[in-house]
Amino acid sequence: MANQEKILVVGAAGQIGTELVLELRLRYGAETIVASDIKTPNYDVMEGGIFEFLDILDDKALLKIVQKHNIKQVYQLAALLSATAEQNPMFAWKLNMEGLFNILNLAKEKIIDKIFWPSSIAVFGSTTPKIQTPQITITEPSSVYGISKLSGERWCEYYFKKFNVDVRSVRYPGLISHKSQPGGGTTDYAVHIFYEAKKHQNYECFLKSDCTLPMMYMDDAIDATISLMEAPGNKIKIRSSYNIAGVSFNPKELVTEIKRHIPEFTASYSPDYRQQLAESWPAEIDESIAYNDWGWKSQYDMPFIVNQMLKNI
Ligand code: NAD
Ligand code: SER
């Protein structure tokens, strides 16, 4: 990346944004990264570099910030996640789509050069093959969130083909992190469980014990994100969104691993509306195209993640 190019992160106070901003500042220098959100981020994000309050739905305010800082790349993370989106479908559709369009249009107008926008395993649905889910397969999502992510993927590819917009994307699995809390997804159980295990040695899980989902440690997710953005453009063959796999496990397997560290830990299961969302998603993802195209592979397994989470929270 050229030295003077500035990067805007939208949604910098969220689960991914918090860690992405810290890593981008480390790699490229704090003066190069502009963090932004509608809410105040944690102390490190707020005080460790540039921060701007920005509502991604306000395209005029967005343009002002882009011009003020001479922004050339944008990571657009602001969205409602799967569980929250089901509570407010029309607003989820508005935020998830208009937020993306506001950024895509800046690139179409050649005001910015490069975009990262995340998709999700929620683009898949119950008709998708559940095991080793291929890059290109049936995508019939049943959640508001999944519908918005699939539409976003189609628009990203459209803007690339039609307007030569350099937009890059991965389909994140459920993310597990200890520096920031998850923001209303179906996979949030796999973060909450560690807090409850340490505090109360007990957790009531909102998914069934055998509900296997693809999950990923945040370090892997951040590495995939930045590697994709740094890859030469001619390597990026998929302009909708790349599958990335992480590691697959169910709540019962996670409980068993936590018990190796906290033997008195117990869990109970009271599935709610999120079970239906989780059931429609794949259990295990094939990420071979990401490896073939830009050389990326998931690293961290479940015992490593459990160890890190219990050590750090
Ligand atoms: P999050 O909910 O933790 O963070 C989203 C951030 O966006 C929040 O800080 C919120 O304040 C901000 N935001 C909301 N509305 C905004 C607006 N109008 N303008 C500016 N900022 C606004 O979400 P996350 O987990 O960090 O996810 C980031 C992106 O990654 C989302 O697009 C999400 O769909 C995607 N994703 C996340 C996961 C995961 O497991 N965390 C998995 C797949 C995809
Ligand atoms: N972790 C996300 C969610 O559960 C998947 O995109 O919403």
Indicate the CATH number of 6-173+218-243 among 3.40.50.720, 3.40.50.300, 3.40.980.10, 3.20.20.140.
Answer: 3.40.50.720
Q: Ligand 1 centre and the CA of 32: distance in Å?
A: 22
Per-residue pLDDT of 144-177, as tens digits, reads 999 999 999 999 999 999 999 999 999 999 999 9
Residue spans of alpha helices (H) in 11-73: 15-28, 43-47, 59-69
Q: Ligand 1 centre and the CA of 77: distance in Å?
A: 5
Shortest-distance ligand to the CA of residue 176:
1
Residue spans of alpha helices (H) in 6-143: 15-28, 43-47, 59-69, 82-87, 89-108
Mean pLDDT (whole number) for 225-236 = 98
CB 293 within 8 A of CB 237: yes
In this structure, what token pair is assigned to residue 27? 């790699």
Mean pLDDT (whole number) for 256-283 = 98
What is the rounded CA–CA span in Å between residue 172 and residue 296? Answer: 13
Please tell me which residue in 75, 145, 189, 300 is annotated as part of the active site.
145
Residue spans of alpha helices (H) in 182-301: 189-199, 218-230, 251-259, 273-279, 288-294
Per-residue pLDDT of 27-39, as tens digits, reads 999 999 999 999 9
One fold for 6-173+218-243 and 174-215+247-287+300-312: no
* Mean of pLDDT over the chain: 97
Per-residue pLDDT of 59-96, as tens digits, reads 999 999 999 999 999 999 999 999 999 999 999 999 99
What is the rounded CA–CA span in Å between residue 1 and residue 164? Answer: 19
In this structure, what token pair is assigned to residue 192? 């909450």
Spelled out in words, what is the top-level CATH class assigned to the domain 174-215+247-287+300-312?
A: alpha beta
Residue 4 has pLDDT above 80, yes or no: no
Whether 43 sits among the annotated catalytic residues: the reply is no
Site residues for ligand 1, CB cut-off 6 Å: 10-11, 13-17, 37-39, 54-57, 77-79, 81, 95, 118, 120, 172, 174-175, 182-185, 187
Taking the domains of the chain in order of start, what are their residue ranges? 6-173+218-243, 174-215+247-287+300-312
Q: Is 280 in the pocket of ligand 2 (CB under 6 A)?
A: no
Q: Is 186 in the pocket of ligand 2 (CB under 6 A)?
A: yes
Q: For residue 155, what pLDDT is reported?
A: 99
Q: For residue 5, what pLDDT is reported?
A: 79
Instruction: Report DSSP state, residue 136.
Output: S
